[in-house]
A and B are shown apart, each in its own frame.
Chain A
Amino acid sequence: DAKTTQPTSMDCAEGRAANLPCNHSTISGNEYVYWYRQIHSQGPQYIIHGLKNNETNEMASLIITEDRKSSTLILPHATQRDTAVYYCIVRDPLMDSNYQLIWGAGTKLIIKP
């Protein structure tokens, strides 16, 4: 079972920031939060990951709460090309046996013109 909870779907207006929430209340101290997205008919695309601190890259920002029980992925200026299913996954990459990514249903994000 997925260790994360995400809304089933969200809409966002083009040009605005898209904020995608994720709850991971049972996260352990060594588990990272990963975000991927899957645009229709394509392979999953890695977006960003983090442990405790907020992270930013050219695609998005990741905000992790101080208690680490939830996080938010922010797409700063969403375009219609960002329409996809977004997956939040928690994983400890240093555990040899913990290589499997557990995929939930994700959030279907629709960017409207």
Chain B
Amino acid sequence: SAVISQKPSRDICQRGTSLTIQCQVDSQVTMMFWYRQQPGQSLTLIATANQGSEATYESGFVIDKFPISRPNLTFSTLTVSNMSPEDSSIYLCSAEQGAQGETQYFGPGTRLLVL
């Protein structure tokens, strides 16, 4: 199974600033995803990070707020821009792996608190 790491593991930020979260996979994967988990809630998909092209965003999420990079098959970043307290969440990276791309594995998450 894919092993996924994220940096930072947690951060406290001031409103109006931006934070970039890094996601590293220990093997090449085709599909990488970014999720958000607000306090006490289930996971919500933000976007699919596509290698070599622009990310595909889900309804309610826009590139200006959550720019994503995917420079290669093992790495991706998510930036949370112009943060407000409502952005306080856990941000999770996942990658799909398997002979038929059948299983998603998750990183440990980045806990973000915006003051």
Contacts and interface: CB of A to CB of B under 8 A. Distances in A.
Contacts of B45: 100-101
B21 interface: no
B102 A93 contact: yes
Contacts of A87: 42
A103 B43 contact: yes
A94 B43 CA distance: 22
B105 to A, nearest CB: 6
B42 A43 contact: no
A32 B102 contact: yes
A41 B101 contact: no
Interface residues of A, number: 20
Contacts of A41: 90, 109, 111
Interface string B75-106: 00000000000000010100010101111111
Nearest to B92: A43
A106 B42 CA distance: 8
30 contacts: A32-B102, A34-B103, A41-B111, A43-B4, A43-B92, A43-B106, A44-B43, A44-B106, A46-B1, A46-B103, A46-B104, A46-B105, A49-B102, A49-B103, A87-B42, A93-B100, A93-B102, A93-B103, A94-B102, A99-B31, A99-B33, A99-B96, A100-B45, A101-B43, A103-B42, A103-B43, A103-B44, A104-B42, A105-B42, A106-B42
Interface of B: 1, 4, 31, 33, 42-45, 48, 58, 90, 92, 96, 98, 100-109, 111
Given A43-B107, A101-B45, 20 more contacts: A41-B109, A41-B111, A42-B109, A43-B4, A43-B106, A44-B43, A44-B92, A44-B106, A46-B1, A87-B42, A93-B98, A93-B102, A99-B31, A99-B48, A99-B96, A100-B45, A101-B104, A103-B42, A103-B43, A105-B42
